[in-house]
Chain A
Amino acid sequence: MLKTVRLLFSKTGRARFISHLDLNRTMTRAVRRAGIPLWYTEGFNRHPYLTFPAPLSLGYEGLAEIMEIRLEEDMPSDELVSKLQAVMPEGLCVFEAFEAQRKAGELKSAAYTLHFTCPADPVRELLAQPSIFVEKFSKKKVLKTVDIAPAFAGAVVEDVENGCKMTVTLPCGGEGTVNPSLFVTALKQKLGEDIPCHVVRTALFDPDGCPFR
C-alpha cells in the first residue's frame, strides 16, 4: 500500500474564488508542474490520486487546508513542499507535508472567523437567542429548517475596525458539517439586508481537538 501524504496549504486572496472542483484541477496541474511523481489510479480512465478531505466553500479563505496525494516513490517532506511552492499560483501556498496519521473520516471540526461589516450588537443579539432557525437544503436536496443555535453556542464576538469578528468552531467531517454561511443567512433574515461577510477557516481538528494530521 502506498503511503498517503497530507499537505497543509493556505488559500487566500484571489485564490478564494477557486471552486472546489476547480481546485482539484488546479492542484493536479501544480503537482505535475513540480515534477512530483503522482500515483495514478489503474484502469481505463487513469487519473492521479489527489483529494481534499474537507472541501472549502467558494469565497472562503483557508489558512490550514488539507490535500491528500499518493506518490509513486517517497520524497522528503521539505523537498515536496519547496518543489510545490515554486509552482503555485497567487494565493495558494503549500507549507507542510507529512504522512497521514488519522483516517480522513476522523476529521471532526473546523475553526472559523467571520468578519462582518456591521456592528457587533446585532450579531451578539442573534447569538443570544435560544434557537436560531434557518432553512437549508439537505443532502437529498430537500429544503428543511434547522436550529443552528447549539452549533454556535461557543461563538465569541468582538468589535474590530469597520465591523465585528466572530470566532467559532463548528462540526466538519463525516459525522456532519455546519457551514458558517447558515449564520450569515440568519443574520440577513434578522436585519432584512445582506451583510457582506468574509469567512476564514483557520484550522481543522480531530476528535481530540488536536490539529487534524
Chain B
Amino acid sequence: MALDMEHLLLQVQKPARYSGGELGSVMKDKKDVFIRFAFCFPDLYEVGMSHLGMKILYGLYNREEDTWCERVFAPDADMEQKMRENDIPLFGLESRDPIKDFDFIGFTLQYEMCYTTLLHMLDLAKVPLLSAERDEQYPLVIAGGPCACNPEPLADFIDIFILGEGEEVNIELNNLYREHKKRGYVKRDFLLDAAKIEGVYVPSLYDVTYLSDGRIEAITPRDTAPKKVRKRIIKDLDKAYYPETFVVPFTDIVHDRAMSEIFRGCIRGCRFCQAGFIYRPVREKSPETIDRQSHALCQSTGYEEFSLTSLSTSDYSRLEQLLPQLLEWAEKEQVNISLPSLRVDGFSEELAKRLNVLRRSGLTFAPEAGTQRLRDAINKNLTETEILETARRAFSGGWNAVKLYFMNGLPTETKEDIRGIAELGHKVVDEFYHLSDRPRGKGVTVSISVSCFVPKPFTPFQWEPQDTMEQLQEKQKYLLSEIKTRKISLSWHDAKVSFLEAVLARGDRRLGAVLLEAFRRGFNLDAWSEHFDFDAWMDIFDSLGLDPAFYANRRREKDEVFPWDHLDYGVSKAFLWKENQKAHESHTTPNCREHCSGCGAACFKGGICVEDGQTVVQ
C-alpha cells in the first residue's frame, strides 16, 4: 500500500524539512492562481533555506496575485527512497502538488557541484532532463545565480538562463509568459520572445562550433536571438523590492537568522574572485533603508539575530553611521547583529564591545596568500602589519584563537609563497607570546585553512591553468612540513573536488554528456563529500573521450573564444586581460572608491560608476 504523505513523513529524519507550514510560507487558493512557479534549490533544505536570493525571489513572485511560488529542495537519501517507493514525485512544500504540473521550475546555481543534484531533482519530479524533450505539457526549466555566468555545461537541460540580478527580469519574464499562456502557450514562440528581454539567455538559440583541437571556433545566434546577452542589475537598491518577512524554518538550518543586504558588488577586485567582477558595479543601500528593513524583518520573524550581508561588509561607506542606529533598537529588543567578513581594525573599542564583534564571529582573516608579493599579484590588499595588529588587539582583549584562510595554486605561486603561509602563522603565534597582557593559563590556536585555487570565468585568471592535483597535493605536503609548532592546525580542501569544479566552471556544452552520464550513474549531492566519487567521475570522462585537463589545466591564449564569450557582464575582456598581465608583474590595481580603472561596468550606469566625483574618489 502506498503511504500517504503524513505517514511517510513519520519515517524520515527531520521531517520538518518536508512538511511545509513554516511561518511566512505563502499559501494561495488554487482557483485564484494562473501561474505556478517551483523555486528549486539543488541542495538540502538546511542549505537552501539559508540562501538570501531565494527569500527575495519567493517574496517577489508571491506578490504577483495570480502567481504562486513554492519552495523545493533536494530530499535527503531516506526521503528520496520513501518517495520513490510510494511513487510520490517531487512536490512543492506549500501545496504538496507535483512540480511537473507547474508552469516554471526555477533553479538557483550557487556552485558547480550542485549540477548533478539539479538533474536528479528533475528526474525525481518526473520531468524529462533534456530541454529538447520537454514539450508544452511540461514546465519551463529556468536557472539563474552566479554559475549562470558560464551555464554552458547545463545548456542541454535548461530552457532559459537569467543573467545577473533577478528582481526585475523575473517579473518581466513572468508577465510575458502570462500573455503567452492566455493565448495558448507554444514553447518555441515563447523562447523566441523571451530572448528579446535583456538578461534572458536561451541556449537553444545558439550554435557552437569547435576547432579540431577542441577549442571553440564560434558561438552563433539563430533567428532573432541577440549576439550578446547582457546581465541585469538593479540600479537603485533603495527602491528595489526587499522582503518584509522570511519563511522561518522550524528545524535548524545553516544560517538561521534574518539577513539584511547592505550593498551589492565589491570595490576590491581581488583577481581570483568571481563575485568581485560579476556583481559590479558597487551599489549601496542607504543606512535608513537598511535600518528600516532590518527592524521590520526582526519583528516579523522573531529572529534573535540578523546579519549585515555583502561581499565585504567593512567596505560599506557609512558603517559608522549605520551601526549605532541599528544598535539603538537591537540592544533593547535583545537582537544580536552579526557582521560577516568584517575587519575588526576599523572599530572603536566601544563599538567593538557593543557589537560583541569577537564573540560573534571569532577572529578570521583571509590573507589568501603567504607573501606580500603574491598578495599584490592577486590584488588582495591586506598587509601583514594589519593582520598582526588586529591579532594583537584581539589577544589583549582575551581572545586566543585565530583563523586564517589561504589558497594554494594561485597563478605565479612559488615555494617561497607557500613557506610564507607557515611563516605568517608562526608570526601570529609569536605575537601572542610577546604580549605581556595575553590571556593567562591558555595557549593560542591558529587554524590555517587552505583551499585550492579554481580559475573562474569573468576573472583576470580565466586564462590561467589550474595546478594539477599532484602539484596541489605536493604543495599541501610542503606546507605541512614547514609548520613547526603544534599551536598551528592545518586543514585543506580536497584537490579532487577543486579539479572537478575547475572543469565545470570553464566547461563548454560538451560537458552536458558528462553530466547526463553522471546522472545515469546515480550521482547526487556531490557537494557533500560522502557522496562524491572522484574515480567514477574520471571514468565517465574516459568513456566519453573527453579530457578534463583540457578544461582545468590548460593555459588559454589571449584571444581564445571562451564558452561564455556571448554573455556580457559589463566587465570587458580587455580589462580582464590587462589585470591578468598586471598580476604577472605583481602590480596592484586601486579599488573602485580610490580610482576608477575603467573595467566596463559603467555601461550599467549605476552605483559607484555614476556617483559624483566626491563620493567616487576619496
Contacts and interface: CB of A to CB of B under 8 A. Distances in A.
B251 A22 contact: yes
Interface residues of A, number: 28
Contacts of B248: 26, 29, 89
Interface in B229-253: 248, 250-252
B252 A30 contact: no
B302 A89 contact: no
A88 to B, nearest CB: 8
A40 interface: yes
B334 interface: yes
Interface string B15-56: 110111111010100000000000000000000000000000
Q: Is the interface of B mostly helix, strand, loop or mixed?
A: loop
B7 A196 contact: yes
A87 B302 contact: yes
Interface in A13-65: 13-15, 17-19, 22-23, 25-26, 28-33, 35, 40, 46, 58-59
B9 interface: yes
B250 A25 contact: yes
Contacts of B20: 14
A105 interface: no
A115 B106 CA distance: 40
A73 interface: no
Contacts of B15: 17, 58-59
A198 B7 CA distance: 8
B251 A32 contact: no
A17 B303 contact: no
Contacts of B301: 29, 33
A28 B302 contact: yes
B16 A33 contact: no
A21 to B, nearest CB: 8
B544 interface: no
A32 B304 contact: yes
B303 A29 contact: yes
Contacts of A125: none
A206 B617 CA distance: 73
Given A58-B15, A90-B21, A18 B299 contact: no
B25 to A, nearest CB: 8
A166 B411 CA distance: 71
Contact of B23 (A17, A35, A46, A89): A89
Contacts of B250: 17-19, 22-23, 25-26, 89
A89 B21 contact: yes
Contacts of B27: 90
Interface in A78-124: 87-91
Contacts of A23: 250
B93 to A, nearest CB: 10
Nearest to A193: B1
Contacts of A32: 302-304, 333-334
Nearest to B17: A17
7 contacts: A14-B19, A22-B252, A26-B23, A33-B302, A89-B23, A90-B21, A196-B7
Interface of A: 13-15, 17-19, 22-23, 25-26, 28-33, 35, 40, 46, 58-59, 87-91, 196, 198
